[in-house]
């Protein structure tokens, strides 16, 4: 087993380190010689896409969090309304699905029982099914009309890391492909965004290279009972994934909140030294996040901020800052999640937890 960890202490940190490769592979295997997206296993034509008036993205756990980012990307680029739902909810709530609906299921393993059941439910109502999965020939891949395989490689640690970032890349690519086919984005935006996706892998590597700084930050929160993750827009979805990660492997109670909702209840929970991880990667929401950080700081919180390089203003408010390389707001999710994975990892290690096999959890939940 030590050998398969490739010199790392745990599979999780090995898999965190494999993300630049996974992101790159997922992307470049789908680019043609002209740098355009070519999705071989997705047969949806321009005509098919014009018929689709609603998209559901359905998944569980971390894959569900990727689906939330997918909603953002598909609505922004392809201009189709998207609802992201938890598979175990979707399958029992008689969702509004017909033959003009596209169901996108996201599943690392391709075997999750609730996701598979949601797929079957939507199919029985006439929906077209597109699966994003990491496992070739998995049940979900076999049941779907169209498949997008992530190129994360086998993921062993129970807590998902590299599968998640490759799911994000997949969803961005699907959004861009739909958009260019439908004519809802310009060629220029299309090309520019693909170029940015190409740079994402190097930028993730830069973050990983600075893991020791994040490890130090982990020291300052490792004994906390509770932590709160705040974000707005896309950053809120990353906050949800960050909170899940730390709960899963370090057993620290953590919750994510849309930062604007704080004042409607959550702020009552902030006490002296409560860790608050504030994600502020969206330029158009930056000032709003600064105000939210000030609010919690004034109530004693220990604020760890995530911001884009150059946004130095954040240092005046936060106790610690983790900078991510410059990237457009829409693609920031691929970067912001990485420091949160690393932070969870080090908190779990310092708390003496079984990082790769946390209690009560399974890698793949194939029964309901």
Active site residues: 363
Q: Which range, of 3-11, 32-40, 58-66, 307-315, touches ligand G6P by CB under 6 A?
A: 58-66
Asked if 364 is part of the footprint of ligand G6P (rule: CB under 6 A), the reply reads yes
**Beta carbon of residue 142, minimum distance to ligand G6P (angstroms, whole number):** 15
Distance CA 343, CA 248 (A): 13
Task: Collect all residues with Cβ–Cβ distance below 8 Å to 213 and sequence separation of at least 6.
Answer: 322
Of the candidates 175, 154, 219, the one whose C-alpha atom is nearest the C-alpha of residue 67 is 175
Pairing of strands 82-86, 128-133: unpaired
3-state secondary structure of 149: strand
Distance CA 210, CA 309 (A): 13
Choosing from 84, 112, 201, 333, the residue that interacts with ligand G6P (CB under 6 A) is 112
Q: Which stretch binds ligand G6P (CB under 6 A): 6-14, 153-161, 194-202, 303-311?
A: 153-161
Q: Output DSSP code: residue 37.
A: B
Name the DSSP class of 188.
H
**Smallest separation (angstroms) from ligand G6P to the CB of 135:** 8
Q: Is 61 in the site for ligand G6P (CB under 6 A)?
A: yes
Segment interacting with ligand G6P (CB under 6 A) among 23-31, 55-63, 198-206, 235-243: 55-63
Smaller CB separation from ligand G6P, 62 or 250: 62
Give the nearest distance from C-beta 68 to ligand G6P in angstroms. 13
- Does 108 engage in binding with ligand G6P (CB under 6 A)? yes
Q: What separation, in Å, do the N-terminal and C-terminal C-alpha atoms of the chain show?
A: 30
Residues in Cβ contact with 243 at an 8 Å cutoff, skipping those fewer than 6 apart = 227, 228, 229, 254, 255, 256
- 251, burial (CB in 10 Å: exposed 0-12, middle 13-18, buried 19+): middle
Q: What are phi and psi of 126, to 5 degrees?
A: 100, 5
Q: Which is nearer to ligand G6P, 169 or 324 (CB)?
A: 169
* Dihedral pair phi/psi, residue 252, rounded to 5°: -85, 135
109 binding ligand G6P? (CB under 6 A):
yes
Closest residue to ligand G6P: CB criterion: 61
Does residue 158 belong to the site contacting ligand G6P (CB under 6 A)? yes
Q: Is 221 in the site for ligand G6P (CB under 6 A)?
A: no
Site string for ligand G6P, 6-45 (x = CB under 6 A): ----------------------------------------
Give the binding-site size for ligand G6P (rule: CB under 6 A).
16
Where on the chain is the footprint of ligand G6P (CB under 6 A)? 60-63, 107-109, 112, 115, 158-160, 361, 363-365
């Amino acid at each position: 087993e030590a050998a398969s960890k490739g010199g790392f202490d745990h599979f999780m940190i090995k898999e965190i380190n494999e993300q630049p490769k996974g992101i790159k592979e997922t992307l470049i295997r789908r680019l043609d010689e002209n740098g355009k997206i070519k999705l071989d296993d997705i047969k949806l034509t321009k005509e098919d896409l014009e018929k689709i008036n609603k998209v559901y993205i359905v998944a569980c756990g971390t894959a569900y969090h990727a689906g939330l980012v997918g909603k953002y990307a598909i609505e922004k680029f392809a201009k189709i309304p998207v609802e992201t739902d938890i598979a175990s909810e979707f399958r029992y709530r008689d969702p509004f699905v017909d033959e003009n609906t596209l169901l996108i299921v996201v599943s690392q393993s391709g075997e999750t029982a609730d996701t598979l059941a949601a797929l079957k439910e939507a199919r029985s109502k006439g929906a077209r099914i597109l699966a994003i999965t990491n496992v070739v020939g998995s049940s979900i891949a076999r049941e779907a009309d169209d498949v997008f395989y992530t190129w994360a490689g086998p993921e062993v640690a129970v807590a998902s890391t590299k599968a998640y970032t490759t799911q994000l890349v997949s969803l961005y690519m699907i959004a861009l492909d739909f958009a260019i086919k439908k004519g809802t984005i310009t060629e220029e935006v299309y090309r520019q965004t693909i170029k940015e996706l190409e740079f994402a892998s190097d930028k993730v590597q830069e973050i990983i290279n600075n893991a020791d700084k994040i490890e130090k930050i982990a020291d300052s929160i490792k004994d906390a009972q509770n932590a709160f993750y705040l974000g707005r827009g896309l950053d809120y979805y990353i906050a949800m994934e960050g909170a899940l990660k730390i709960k899963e492997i370090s057993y620290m109670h953590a919750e994510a909140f849309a930062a604007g909702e704080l004042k409607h209840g959550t702020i009552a929970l902030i006490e002296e030294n409560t860790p608050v991880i504030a994600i502020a990667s969206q330029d158009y929401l930056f000032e709003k996040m600064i105000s939210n950080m000030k609010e919690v700081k004034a109530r004693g919180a220990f604020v760890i901020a995530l911001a884009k390089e150059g946004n130095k203003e954040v240092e005046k408010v936060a106790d610690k800052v983790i900078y991510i390389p410059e990237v457009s707001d829409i693609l920031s999710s691929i970067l912001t999640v990485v420091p949160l994975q690393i932070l969870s990892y080090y908190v779990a290690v310092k708390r003496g937890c079984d990082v790769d096999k946390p209690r009560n959890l399974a890698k793949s939940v194939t029964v309901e």
